[in-house]
Structure 1
Amino acid sequence: MSKSSKKKPSVAKNEVKPADEAQPAPTQSHGRSQFKMKSPEEKKEAHKEGIIKTAVAAIIGMVAGIIAYMQLGEGIPGETGYEWYVILMFIVGISFYVMKFSFPIFKIKPKEFGFKDWFYVEFIVVDFCLVTWTLLLN
Protein backbone atom coordinates (compact mmCIF):
# COMPACT_ATOMS: atom_id res chain seq x y z
CA MET A 1 0.00 0.00 0.00
CA SER A 2 1.12 3.46 -0.70
CA LYS A 3 1.29 6.27 1.79
CA SER A 4 -1.61 8.09 0.19
CA SER A 5 -4.00 5.22 0.86
CA LYS A 6 -3.08 5.16 4.57
CA LYS A 7 -4.08 8.78 5.14
CA LYS A 8 -6.94 9.37 7.45
CA PRO A 9 -9.91 11.24 6.06
CA SER A 10 -9.60 14.96 6.68
CA VAL A 11 -11.90 16.48 9.27
CA ALA A 12 -12.77 20.15 9.37
CA LYS A 13 -11.06 21.42 12.53
CA ASN A 14 -12.57 24.89 12.58
CA GLU A 15 -16.17 23.87 12.22
CA VAL A 16 -18.41 26.57 13.69
CA LYS A 17 -21.86 25.76 15.03
CA PRO A 18 -24.66 28.28 14.70
CA ALA A 19 -25.63 30.17 17.86
CA ASP A 20 -28.93 28.27 18.11
CA GLU A 21 -27.12 24.95 18.45
CA ALA A 22 -24.49 26.20 20.91
CA GLN A 23 -24.44 24.24 24.15
CA PRO A 24 -23.41 25.70 27.51
CA ALA A 25 -20.08 24.66 28.91
CA PRO A 26 -20.38 21.63 31.18
CA THR A 27 -20.41 22.43 34.86
CA GLN A 28 -19.51 20.34 37.84
CA SER A 29 -22.43 18.91 39.77
CA HIS A 30 -21.11 19.97 43.19
CA GLY A 31 -21.14 23.69 42.32
CA ARG A 32 -23.65 26.22 43.62
CA SER A 33 -25.74 26.37 40.47
CA GLN A 34 -25.78 24.96 37.01
CA PHE A 35 -26.51 26.83 33.80
CA LYS A 36 -29.91 26.01 32.37
CA MET A 37 -31.04 26.97 28.91
CA LYS A 38 -34.36 28.83 29.03
CA SER A 39 -37.13 28.10 26.61
CA PRO A 40 -38.57 31.01 24.59
CA GLU A 41 -41.66 31.03 26.82
CA GLU A 42 -39.50 31.27 29.95
CA LYS A 43 -37.48 34.10 28.42
CA LYS A 44 -40.65 35.96 27.49
CA GLU A 45 -42.09 35.50 31.01
CA ALA A 46 -38.83 36.66 32.65
CA HIS A 47 -38.76 39.75 30.40
CA LYS A 48 -42.36 40.60 31.24
CA GLU A 49 -41.65 40.13 34.96
CA GLY A 50 -38.62 42.43 34.72
CA ILE A 51 -40.70 45.16 33.09
CA ILE A 52 -43.35 44.88 35.80
CA LYS A 53 -40.71 45.07 38.57
CA THR A 54 -39.20 48.18 37.02
CA ALA A 55 -42.57 49.87 36.42
CA VAL A 56 -43.84 49.23 39.96
CA ALA A 57 -40.58 50.52 41.46
CA ALA A 58 -40.69 53.62 39.23
CA ILE A 59 -44.28 54.43 40.18
CA ILE A 60 -43.53 54.00 43.89
CA GLY A 61 -40.49 56.27 43.47
CA MET A 62 -42.54 58.98 41.76
CA VAL A 63 -45.22 58.83 44.46
CA ALA A 64 -42.51 59.02 47.13
CA GLY A 65 -41.02 62.08 45.40
CA ILE A 66 -44.40 63.81 45.28
CA ILE A 67 -45.09 63.02 48.95
CA ALA A 68 -41.60 64.19 49.93
CA TYR A 69 -42.20 67.49 48.14
CA MET A 70 -45.67 68.00 49.65
CA GLN A 71 -44.63 67.12 53.20
CA LEU A 72 -41.04 68.29 53.34
CA GLY A 73 -40.73 71.01 50.72
CA GLU A 74 -37.03 71.71 50.21
CA GLY A 75 -35.96 69.32 52.96
CA ILE A 76 -34.10 71.95 54.96
CA PRO A 77 -33.04 70.39 58.29
CA GLY A 78 -34.23 73.36 60.37
CA GLU A 79 -37.76 73.17 58.98
CA THR A 80 -38.30 69.39 58.97
CA GLY A 81 -35.94 68.27 61.70
CA TYR A 82 -34.33 65.67 59.41
CA GLU A 83 -31.44 65.68 56.97
CA TRP A 84 -32.25 64.78 53.36
CA TYR A 85 -30.36 61.46 53.52
CA VAL A 86 -32.39 60.40 56.58
CA ILE A 87 -35.53 61.09 54.58
CA LEU A 88 -34.20 58.86 51.79
CA MET A 89 -33.59 56.04 54.28
CA PHE A 90 -37.21 56.34 55.42
CA ILE A 91 -38.29 56.15 51.79
CA VAL A 92 -36.14 53.05 51.19
CA GLY A 93 -37.55 51.31 54.27
CA ILE A 94 -41.17 52.14 53.52
CA SER A 95 -40.86 51.32 49.80
CA PHE A 96 -39.35 47.92 50.65
CA TYR A 97 -42.50 46.91 52.51
CA VAL A 98 -44.80 48.49 49.93
CA MET A 99 -43.14 46.48 47.16
CA LYS A 100 -42.99 43.32 49.26
CA PHE A 101 -46.77 43.40 49.65
CA SER A 102 -47.66 44.83 46.23
CA PHE A 103 -45.57 42.49 44.02
CA PRO A 104 -47.85 39.47 44.69
CA ILE A 105 -50.73 41.49 43.21
CA PHE A 106 -48.78 41.47 39.92
CA LYS A 107 -47.96 37.73 40.26
CA ILE A 108 -44.32 38.35 41.16
CA LYS A 109 -42.88 36.32 44.03
CA PRO A 110 -40.76 38.57 46.27
CA LYS A 111 -39.61 35.53 48.27
CA GLU A 112 -37.51 34.54 45.24
CA PHE A 113 -35.69 37.90 45.23
CA GLY A 114 -32.01 37.96 46.04
CA PHE A 115 -29.90 40.85 47.25
CA LYS A 116 -29.23 42.01 43.69
CA ASP A 117 -32.95 42.12 42.86
CA TRP A 118 -33.83 44.15 45.94
CA PHE A 119 -30.87 46.47 45.38
CA TYR A 120 -32.04 47.05 41.80
CA VAL A 121 -35.64 47.91 42.64
CA GLU A 122 -34.63 50.09 45.61
CA PHE A 123 -32.18 51.97 43.39
CA ILE A 124 -35.02 52.61 40.93
CA VAL A 125 -37.24 53.88 43.77
CA VAL A 126 -34.59 56.26 45.15
CA ASP A 127 -33.63 57.44 41.67
CA PHE A 128 -37.21 58.24 40.64
CA CYS A 129 -37.91 59.80 44.03
CA LEU A 130 -34.96 62.18 43.75
CA VAL A 131 -35.71 63.06 40.13
CA THR A 132 -39.39 63.74 40.87
CA TRP A 133 -38.58 65.75 43.99
CA THR A 134 -35.98 67.79 42.08
CA LEU A 135 -38.36 68.50 39.21
CA LEU A 136 -41.05 69.66 41.63
CA LEU A 137 -38.58 71.93 43.44
CA ASN A 138 -37.77 73.79 40.22
Structure 2
Amino acid sequence: MEEVNTSTLPKEAIQKIYFEEEASRIRKAFANKSDEEDLDYLLHQLQCIKSLMVHLRLPWDRLIPVLFRSFAYYCMRQPDEMVSKRKAYQLTAQLMDSVTFMSQNGRMINALVEFFNHQIDDLDKLLAEEVKTVS
Protein backbone atom coordinates (compact mmCIF):
# COMPACT_ATOMS: atom_id res chain seq x y z
CA MET A 1 0.00 0.00 0.00
CA GLU A 2 1.24 3.51 -0.77
CA GLU A 3 2.44 5.71 2.03
CA VAL A 4 -0.03 8.42 2.86
CA ASN A 5 0.47 11.54 4.95
CA THR A 6 -2.18 10.79 7.58
CA SER A 7 -1.91 14.14 9.33
CA THR A 8 -4.15 15.77 6.71
CA LEU A 9 -6.75 13.00 6.41
CA PRO A 10 -10.01 12.83 8.34
CA LYS A 11 -10.32 10.19 11.07
CA GLU A 12 -12.68 8.01 9.00
CA ALA A 13 -10.18 7.85 6.13
CA ILE A 14 -7.38 6.88 8.52
CA GLN A 15 -9.54 4.14 10.01
CA LYS A 16 -10.43 2.83 6.57
CA ILE A 17 -6.77 2.67 5.56
CA TYR A 18 -5.91 0.91 8.83
CA PHE A 19 -8.70 -1.68 8.52
CA GLU A 20 -7.99 -2.36 4.85
CA GLU A 21 -4.33 -2.96 5.66
CA GLU A 22 -5.31 -5.29 8.52
CA ALA A 23 -7.68 -7.20 6.25
CA SER A 24 -4.91 -7.58 3.69
CA ARG A 25 -2.50 -8.92 6.31
CA ILE A 26 -5.02 -11.41 7.69
CA ARG A 27 -5.89 -12.63 4.19
CA LYS A 28 -2.19 -13.21 3.50
CA ALA A 29 -1.68 -14.98 6.83
CA PHE A 30 -4.56 -17.37 6.20
CA ALA A 31 -4.07 -17.57 2.43
CA ASN A 32 -7.71 -16.58 1.96
CA LYS A 33 -8.93 -16.06 -1.58
CA SER A 34 -12.67 -15.60 -1.01
CA ASP A 35 -14.72 -13.05 -2.94
CA GLU A 36 -15.84 -11.39 0.29
CA GLU A 37 -15.07 -7.67 0.57
CA ASP A 38 -11.96 -6.93 2.63
CA LEU A 39 -13.74 -5.09 5.43
CA ASP A 40 -16.52 -7.68 5.67
CA TYR A 41 -13.89 -10.41 5.80
CA LEU A 42 -12.02 -8.56 8.54
CA LEU A 43 -15.22 -8.07 10.55
CA HIS A 44 -15.98 -11.79 10.34
CA GLN A 45 -12.45 -12.69 11.45
CA LEU A 46 -12.58 -10.24 14.38
CA GLN A 47 -15.89 -11.72 15.50
CA CYS A 48 -14.44 -15.24 15.35
CA ILE A 49 -11.34 -14.25 17.32
CA LYS A 50 -13.48 -12.47 19.91
CA SER A 51 -15.65 -15.57 20.24
CA LEU A 52 -12.53 -17.67 20.79
CA MET A 53 -11.28 -15.27 23.46
CA VAL A 54 -14.66 -15.28 25.22
CA HIS A 55 -14.55 -19.07 25.41
CA LEU A 56 -11.00 -18.95 26.77
CA ARG A 57 -12.24 -17.16 29.89
CA LEU A 58 -13.27 -20.45 31.50
CA PRO A 59 -12.22 -21.26 35.06
CA TRP A 60 -9.24 -23.15 33.66
CA ASP A 61 -7.69 -23.97 37.01
CA ARG A 62 -10.69 -26.16 37.90
CA LEU A 63 -10.16 -28.21 34.73
CA ILE A 64 -6.53 -29.13 35.38
CA PRO A 65 -7.21 -32.24 37.52
CA VAL A 66 -9.92 -33.49 35.16
CA LEU A 67 -7.75 -33.06 32.08
CA PHE A 68 -4.73 -34.61 33.74
CA ARG A 69 -6.66 -37.68 34.87
CA SER A 70 -8.20 -38.07 31.43
CA PHE A 71 -4.87 -37.94 29.66
CA ALA A 72 -3.15 -40.15 32.23
CA TYR A 73 -5.88 -42.75 31.76
CA TYR A 74 -5.52 -42.42 27.99
CA CYS A 75 -1.75 -42.94 28.25
CA MET A 76 -2.20 -46.07 30.36
CA ARG A 77 -4.71 -47.55 27.94
CA GLN A 78 -2.90 -46.41 24.81
CA PRO A 79 -4.81 -47.71 21.78
CA ASP A 80 -1.93 -46.93 19.41
CA GLU A 81 1.18 -48.88 20.35
CA MET A 82 3.25 -46.86 17.86
CA VAL A 83 2.96 -43.77 20.07
CA SER A 84 5.25 -44.09 23.03
CA LYS A 85 3.94 -43.50 26.52
CA ARG A 86 6.73 -40.95 27.02
CA LYS A 87 5.49 -38.90 24.07
CA ALA A 88 1.93 -39.04 25.39
CA TYR A 89 3.10 -37.87 28.83
CA GLN A 90 5.09 -35.03 27.24
CA LEU A 91 2.00 -33.90 25.33
CA THR A 92 -0.03 -34.09 28.54
CA ALA A 93 2.54 -31.96 30.33
CA GLN A 94 2.45 -29.39 27.52
CA LEU A 95 -1.32 -29.28 27.74
CA MET A 96 -1.15 -28.76 31.50
CA ASP A 97 1.37 -25.93 31.00
CA SER A 98 -1.02 -24.28 28.56
CA VAL A 99 -3.98 -24.69 30.89
CA THR A 100 -1.96 -23.26 33.76
CA PHE A 101 -0.97 -20.29 31.60
CA MET A 102 -4.60 -19.70 30.66
CA SER A 103 -5.74 -19.90 34.28
CA GLN A 104 -3.17 -17.31 35.34
CA ASN A 105 -3.82 -14.83 32.53
CA GLY A 106 -7.51 -14.06 32.78
CA ARG A 107 -6.78 -10.32 32.73
CA MET A 108 -4.95 -10.62 29.45
CA ILE A 109 -7.81 -12.57 27.91
CA ASN A 110 -10.34 -10.02 29.17
CA ALA A 111 -8.22 -7.20 27.74
CA LEU A 112 -8.09 -8.98 24.37
CA VAL A 113 -11.87 -9.41 24.38
CA GLU A 114 -12.26 -5.69 25.11
CA PHE A 115 -9.79 -4.84 22.33
CA PHE A 116 -11.68 -6.95 19.80
CA ASN A 117 -14.97 -5.41 20.95
CA HIS A 118 -13.58 -1.95 20.16
CA GLN A 119 -12.23 -3.12 16.81
CA ILE A 120 -15.59 -4.64 15.86
CA ASP A 121 -17.47 -1.50 16.95
CA ASP A 122 -15.15 0.78 14.95
CA LEU A 123 -15.38 -1.44 11.89
CA ASP A 124 -19.19 -1.61 12.17
CA LYS A 125 -19.32 2.21 12.27
CA LEU A 126 -17.02 2.45 9.26
CA LEU A 127 -19.11 -0.01 7.27
CA ALA A 128 -22.32 1.84 8.23
CA GLU A 129 -20.77 5.12 7.05
CA GLU A 130 -19.80 3.52 3.75
CA VAL A 131 -23.34 2.23 3.23
CA LYS A 132 -24.70 5.69 4.05
CA THR A 133 -22.28 7.31 1.61
CA VAL A 134 -23.12 4.90 -1.22
CA SER A 135 -26.90 5.30 -0.75
Which one has the bigger helix percentage? 2
Same fold? TM cut 0.5: no
Larger radius of gyration: 1
Give me the TM-score of the superposition, normalised by structure 2: 0.29
